[in-house]
Amino acid sequence: MKKIINDPDRFVDEFIEGILLAHPDKLKAPGDDNRILVRADAPVAGRVGIVTGGGSGHLPLFKGYVGTGLCSGVAIGNVFSSPSSEQVFEATKAVNGGAGVLYLYGNYGGDVLNFDLAADMAELEDIETKTVLGTDDVASQPKERKSDRRGVAGIFFAYKCAGAAAERGDSLDEVAAIAQAAVDNTGTMGIGLSPTILPAAGKPTFELPDGEMEIGIGIHGEPGIHRGALESADEIADRLTGPIFEDLGLASGDRVAVLVNGLGATPLEELYVLYRRVAQIAADAGVTIEKNYVGEYATSLEMAGASISVLKLDDERLALLNAPADSPFFREV
């Protein structure tokens, strides 16, 4: 696998340096550690801060959603590795405007451990924190174990809703409740067509023979729920969308937002082919798509594949999705 890199061990630090150089009007590193990024105007006095974080390799996930109307800061780990508790704590202090800080990140063991440790450190500094975990991966656990599910691309909806609530001045309890409601009403399913290659290792994270696909695969290559011959785009969309609609209990008259996400090596044209079928499925079910997003929102380096996320809407969640937002990788006016 050919990659445009220098020293593999410097890959994360060098792409972060590039982000900071490219977007000095939107992001800054508040201290000496460039693995901690915050919005350029942080901290915002009187506003709830939102800190996210996780491993590198998923741009624009995590660090790409730091900005106005989104997250306030991020702690960045190595590729597919958690940031440290100290990094999360430093990000917490850097975004604390006096109204508390929400931790909003994906449900992965290392991240949970280090964010929890950071919360303990924040408490010693009299910074109130609350935690909401992204748990949208329908394939990773059955509905009765939803709290154990992985967090994948659908966390974007929680970022958008919680970020808009914080921007308008909601309290920490209110922002956390809005984030949790977004998580509770979101489902995601993904498909993998080829593995990713870790820069430092130079070898695939998993094996998938030519001509095969894996349904329900995780963004780190975690095993899915079905592996078999590659099917048509419509058949793939059916496999992904059906379980989400069932999990969310969608019925005629419901309203949703849909995200069709590329995992890093899938052409945008193919994502629109998937969206075409999702729109047909929704129409046939009497479900109205009020908002759609098509593109790369949560990747896995150069993995070929896609995911579909659905958020069940009410008037408030739709208004929060429509609120202004601005980051290096996402803008809503």
Quote the CA–CA distance of 232 and 103 in Å, as a whole number. 39
- Which amino acid makes up residue 296? E
Q: For the chain, give every domain's residue range.
A: 8-185+322-332, 186-313
Angle at the Cα of 220 from the Cα atoms of 214 and 222, rounded to 5 degrees: 50
Tell me: domain 8-185+322-332, CATH 3.30.70.3270, correct? Answer: no
* pLDDT tens for the 333 residues of the chain, in order: 688 999 999 999 999 999 999 999 999 999 999 999 999 999 999 999 999 999 999 999 999 999 999 999 999 999 999 999 999 999 999 999 999 999 999 999 999 999 999 999 999 999 999 999 999 999 999 999 999 999 999 999 999 999 999 999 999 999 999 999 999 999 999 999 999 888 877 788 888 889 999 999 999 889 999 999 999 999 999 999 999 999 999 999 999 999 999 999 999 999 999 999 999 999 999 999 999 999 999 999 999 999 999 999 999 999 999 999 999 999 999
Q: Which of 26, 47, 58, 130 is catalytic?
A: 58
**Tokens read off for 170:** 């909601």
Active site residue 220: yes
Do 154 and 104 touch, CB atoms closer than 8 A? no
Task: Tell me which fold the domain 186-313 belongs to.
Answer: Hypothetical Protein Tm841; Chain: A;domain 3 (3.30.1180)
Quote the CA–CA distance of 175 and 100 in Å, as a whole number. 10
- pLDDT confidence of residue 89: 98
Tell me the β-bridge partners of 199: none
Cβ-based neighbours of 61, under 8 Å, separated by 6 or more: 54, 153, 155, 156, 219, 297, 298, 299
- pLDDT confidence of residue 2: 84
Q: Which of 63, 93, 149, 220 is catalytic?
A: 220
Quote the CA–CA distance of 105 and 206 in Å, as a whole number. 24
Does 199 sit behind a cis peptide bond, omega within 30 degrees of 0 on the bond before it? no
- pLDDT confidence of residue 199: 87
- Whether pTM > 0.85 for this model: the answer is yes
